[in-house]
Amino acid sequence: MVFLKNAVAKGAVCLDGSPPVYHFSAGSGSGANNWVVHMEGGGWCRNTDECAVRKGNFRGSSKFMRPLSFSGILGGSQKSNPDFYNWNRVKVRYCDGSSFTGDVEAVESGKNIYYRGFRVWRTIMDDLLTVRGMNKAQNVLLSGCSAGGLAAILHCDRFHDLFPATTKVKCFSDAGYFLDGKDISGNNYARSIYKNVVTLHGSAKNLPASCTSKQPAELCMFPQYVVPTLRTPLFILNAAYDSWQIKNVLAPSPADPKKTWAQCKLDIKSCSPSQLTTLQNFRTDFLAALPKPGQSPSLGMFIDSCNAHCQSGAQDTWLADGSPLVNKTQIGKAVGDWYNDREVSQKIDCPYPCNPTCKNREDD
């Protein structure tokens, strides 16, 4: 567990001004010069009140962060993570509330909040490159889950540009493909979240210029507008009935004042027939927002019909007996095959409830 104390002088800090953190496990043998850099998730804060709450926990302050164990894509055993187990493995902690995009020079005076997520990202990457030896990397994978999975898309080309042309660089987004969709009341609720995040954190200048040159900045927080502009190979892992998106994109509380979706949001098995129809339509819209299979030969996809959120961090969803299957393939194998160019698959599951291998839950 590495606290970057020297980052404080550069203003590269968590929401409360504390130093950024990453966890590091050194590579060995054939993996000594290979790196997987995985960014933690945890939503966003879109106003001073939400960000102030985060200052009191690990989502906004490294004072509350503790050591953690690595599993899934970060796991260290050959059996359970055959393609990445002996790589240099990094988990970048998330304490800025902007998917590592913010950079406002002024400190928010009333509540003493720092909006510096992009500075945190750059400073951690610089430390990995210059102190840990990532500048000598042969193979690199930038990955993340949820808000970190979004960051893996938003920073993908920028990450690629940190390395010489001889380094193989790819990006992997787990549960980061947030849909620009309408909620059950017909409003673009997700769009309003991102508009507020971009404004509060000063994110626009750090979003991909390949998108912001054509679209309003808040739309460039949505992968469907960024991915077609990327130069770097990408793998998209997402549940078609993403449990976080059902709660916050499709049926957010403001769109459901009578709480008719309360049970359905907690457990897909509790959804009424009409709610299931709405969920099937959400899946249809989600699939339509994905890059078209065949559009990019380097694009990997694994879209299972699970009611889950983040499936690469826990061993039982990544690669284990009973892990989710699409076309008889587990997630860890599909990602490894894609990274190593054994097979680039674009697997899209049949609709719910057809997949008995799902683990329906949220992992951050």
Q: Which of 256, 309, 345, 349 is catalytic?
A: 309
Enumerate helices (H) and strands (E) in the chain, giving the number of each: 12, 11
331 Cβ contact partners less than 8 Å away, ≥ 6 residues apart? 237, 302, 304, 311, 312, 317, 318, 319, 323, 324
Active site residue 242: yes
CA-CA distance, 262 to 275, in Å (whole number)? 11
CA-CA distance, 304 to 266, in Å (whole number)? 19
CA torsion angle for 268, 271, 273, 278 (degrees, to 10)? -70
**Which of 152, 193, 15, 199 minimizes the C-alpha distance to 95?**
15
Main-chain phi, psi angles of 316, to 5 degrees: -70, -15
Active site residue 203: no
Q: Which of 99, 146, 305, 323 is catalytic?
A: 146
**Which of 310, 350, 330, 333 minimizes the C-alpha distance to 147?**
310
**Which of 66, 49, 67, 54 minimizes the C-alpha distance to 17?**
54
SS3 track for 161-221:
CCCCCCCEEEEEEECCCCCCCCCCCCCCHHHHHHHHHHHHHCCHHHCCHHHHCCCCHHHHH
Cis upstream peptide for 353 (omega within 30°)? yes
Active site residue 155: no
Pairing outcome for strands 21-25 and 2-3: antiparallel
Any idea which residues carry the catalytic annotation? 146, 242, 309
